Amino acid sequence: MSPATPAQAEMEALIGMMDETDTEIYPLLKNALFQIGEGAVPYLENARLKKDSPLWQSRMESLLRELLLDIACRKLSDWKEEKCPDLLQGFFYLSSAFYPDLSWEEARNTFNRMHGDCGLLLASAERLKERVAIFSNFFFNECKFKFGSRIASGYQFADFLLPNLIHLKQGNDRSLALAYQYLAERNRIPVFLLNLPVVNLLACTADMEKREKKDLRFCIDISRYGSTIDRDALEPMLSIQKQIQLCNTVEALQDHVKLLHFMVDRLEDDPFRKEAMKKLYTCMDCQDTNGPNLSATDFSNPENGNLY
């Protein structure tokens, strides 16, 4: 075994003091670890098994969770400022705050395979509605994406995030809408999430550069397995709810975080998830985004999903 480098020795010494009971020293040690950031994660993971004391075990678990959340928040803050942010990458950063074993390579490769398979099916389709019909069939029947829970009638935290989509091909209306939007964009289908609180409609426009409400041709209803709704049928909703907009990549993930924050705050028992969603909500600037008032929405009635 090669000798530890000075940096490794310093890291191990720092972590070795993490069961320090002095109330003034421990916060300084914790802050030093957070300044190191992602590089501290493997050392913390290895250290969990080195001592049996309850204080040590509790602190190791807590430090890891808080550090992973801090890393996710930093990465999301940088991601939303990128010139062309990748929706899957942002979704991965969000999910990694709660699922430390989630692999970016696995997520990327899974969706890359689906993108390649779908591209072959779409090669000969020219009309927009034909392309959407082929894509929806591919998404739900070939990829076998399915609903684990429905936002308007149930709550399952895991169905909001990426691991269920990758490993079970399962999500809820909103996470499936994000996956649909991402794969559709990869295949040059102009699909954009509408910023509605419960209804999960994707707006389809004429091309990828047109993202105004006036450009909307028809909508895709994720809750009904990709069935389409013509523009005329949507006019009452569009005229009454003036705040409706078509979301770009960042806005789509912000809308997702906004909804998950609301659901966690209202329905979750896990205090870490509640606190984590507050931090993620803040780092994604969700308080500055336009959108419907979620607090006025009754999630207990599935019929509230039918706004059109």
Residues 198 and 168 in one domain: yes
Which position has the token pair 């993490």? Answer: 18
Note the pLDDT of residue 289: 54
* Spatial CA neighbour of 192 closest among 174, 210, 204, 183: 204
Note the pLDDT of residue 51: 80
Contacts of 269 (CB under 8 A, 6+ apart): none
Residues 108 and 143 in one domain: yes
CA distance 75 to 279: 13
* Residue 244 domain-assigned (yes or no): yes
Residues 121 and 162 in one domain: yes
Residues 112 and 66 in one domain: no
Contacts of 263 (CB under 8 A, 6+ apart): 151, 155, 160, 299
The structural domain count of the chain equals 2
Residues 42 and 99 in one domain: no
Query: pTM for the full model?
Result: 0.88
CA distance 179 to 64: 28
User: Of 37, 60, 79, which one is at a domain's C-terminal end?
Assistant: 79
Residues 204 and 122 in one domain: yes
Residues 73 and 91 in one domain: no
User: Of 47, 79, 111, which one is at a domain's C-terminal end?
Assistant: 79
pLDDT beneath 50, residues of the chain: 1-4, 6, 291-293, 295-308
Per residue in 193-213, pLDDT (tens digit) is 998 876 789 999 988 888 888
Is the separation of the CB atoms in 222 and 305 below 8 Å?
A: no
Residues 167 and 247 in one domain: yes
Residues 96 and 232 in one domain: yes
Radius of gyration of the chain (CA): 22
Is the separation of the CB atoms in 192 and 216 below 8 Å?
A: no
Note the pLDDT of residue 15: 85
* Residue 41 domain-assigned (yes or no): yes
CA 48 to chain centre: 28
Note the pLDDT of residue 55: 83
Which position has the token pair 């295949």? Answer: 187
Note the pLDDT of residue 178: 96
CA distance 172 to 159: 5
User: Of 21, 44, 79, which one is at a domain's C-terminal end?
Assistant: 79
Note the pLDDT of residue 30: 86
* Residue 73 domain-assigned (yes or no): yes
Note the pLDDT of residue 27: 87
* Residue 115 domain-assigned (yes or no): yes
* Residue 1 domain-assigned (yes or no): no
Residues 235 and 215 in one domain: yes
Dihedral (Cα; 117, 115, 147, 125), 10-degree rounding: -70
* Residue 12 domain-assigned (yes or no): yes
Residues 37 and 120 in one domain: no
CA distance 200 to 194: 7
Structural domain containing residue 129: 87-305
* Residue 42 domain-assigned (yes or no): yes
* Residue 153 domain-assigned (yes or no): yes
Note the pLDDT of residue 197: 72
